[in-house]
Amino acid sequence: MGVAIEAYGLRKRFISYERVGFLKRRRVTIEALRGVSFRVGWGEVYGLLGPNGAGKTTTVKILATLLIPDGGYALVNGYDTVKQPQAVRRSIGLVLYPDKGFYSRLSGYENLVYFGRLYGLDKRTAQARARELLEIVGLREAMDRPYEEYSLGMRARLAIARALMHDPPILILDEPTIGLDPLSAREVRELVRKLSKEGKAVLFTSHNLWEVEEVCDRVGIINNGSMVIEGSPRDIKDMLGLKYVVEVEVLVNGHVEVLREETLTPVHTLRKLINEAEARGLNVIRVRINEPSLEEVFVRVVRSEGR
């Protein structure tokens, strides 16, 4: 698996001014990124997680050539985001604000055709592609309705359709399922998985941790502008030593009792608990292994980093 996105030591600081009186203002430096590095392979869905203000959107904007980093570099499809921005732009599809970013009085179809043409598609190709994508994202019925009449979910789906208009090999999706109902969100996740199976690389940010766990092959948790931990959801849990909870329900004198143990080796513990129950002549009714969630990982990592 080759590398689709490579970020190395990305640094970014913003200057802000706070009012401290009628005319006076104070210069404030905000360290948005402090050397973020990660890689996304072809056919991989990479989840970027982090609390608000962690630096996720800054990273996304650097990769999309909307921001120039103060330090480090990023290669997208092998092109440098600062030195070869045009080549990068042709390689990516971006979802930045799922709830806006379109012309309100134009229909979804007209919006897609227009943005397709800005990406160099001729009129017929843009029209055909727009129809095809509206079908895929389930907006075929509403394609001629003005964008301003679209629900939040419809807007988010249209944003994904726009990102796919020029069939880019890389997708950068900044919270694409925000505001979507569960069914629509699942459809988006299925679409993302399908696209990754086709070989596209996907960078996916979300606040919905179980969603990231479900859809992403690898995850990076970013906090205070630094990459705190990175790996597959399972590897991260193992790295942090998060324990599984093994539960064995047994029948004791007609009552149900639960034997519970936290462990790093769930199979071994399960076998041990069953053996113990059987040795005591207890009837095992049900067993359950609760895997630690990404949410636990996230909370532990972010808390330990001092947020």
**x/- letters, 150..189, toward other proteins (CB under 8 A):** ------------x---------------------------
Which of 34, 39, 56, 89 contacts other proteins by CB under 8 A? 89
Q: Phi first, then psi: give them for residue 134, nearest 5 degrees.
A: -65, -35
Angstrom distance (rounded) from CA 188 to CA 214: 12
**x/- letters, 113..152, toward other proteins (CB under 8 A):** -xx-xxxxxxxxx---------------------------
Residue found by looking up tokens 């095992």 in the block: 284
Closer residue to other proteins in complex, CB, 15/279: 15
SS3 readout for 181-205: CHHHHHHHHHHHHHHHHCCCEEEEE
CA-based radius of gyration for the chain? 24
Both tokens of residue 143? 């394609």
What number of residues does the chain have?
A: 307
Closer residue to other proteins in complex, CB, 129/237: 129
92 touching other proteins, by CB under 8 A? yes
Shortest Å distance, C-beta 87 to other proteins? 9
DSSP string covering 158-188, please? HHHHHHHTT--SEEEEESTTTT--HHHHHHH
The span of 105-113, 193-201, 211-219, 269-277 binding other proteins (CB under 8 A) equals: 105-113
Cα 108 off chain centre by: 25
DSSP string covering 267-294, please? HHHHHHHHHHHHHTTPEEEEEEEEPPPH
Q: Hey, what amino acid is at 22?
A: F
Shortest Å distance, C-beta 14 to other proteins? 6
Shortest Å distance, C-beta 102 to other proteins? 7
Picking from 181, 147, 148, the residue whose alpha carbon sits closest to that of residue 161 is 147
Strand partners, 223: 226
- Say if CB 89 and CB 65 are below 8 A apart: yes
Q: Hey, what amino acid is at 34?
A: R
Q: Which of residues 5-64 bind other proteins (CB under 8 A)?
A: 14-15, 61, 64
101 touching other proteins, by CB under 8 A? yes
Shortest Å distance, C-beta 71 to other proteins? 12
Which of 105, 194, 197, 288 contacts other proteins by CB under 8 A? 105
> For residue 217, what is the enclosing H or E element?
none
Which of 9, 41, 53, 106 contacts other proteins by CB under 8 A? 106
Angstrom distance (rounded) from CA 304 to CA 307: 8
Closer residue to other proteins in complex, CB, 33/282: 33
By CB under 8 A, how many residues form the interface with other proteins? Answer: 35
Closer residue to other proteins in complex, CB, 48/94: 94
Shortest Å distance, C-beta 84 to other proteins? 12
Shortest Å distance, C-beta 211 to other proteins? 23
Shortest Å distance, C-beta 146 to other proteins? 8
The span of 102-110, 132-140, 236-244, 298-306 binding other proteins (CB under 8 A) equals: 102-110
Strand partners, 219: 47, 231
Cα 82 off chain centre by: 24
Query: Where does this chain bind other proteins (CB under 8 A)?
Result: 14-15, 61, 64-68, 86, 89-90, 92, 94, 96-97, 100-106, 110, 114-115, 117-125, 162
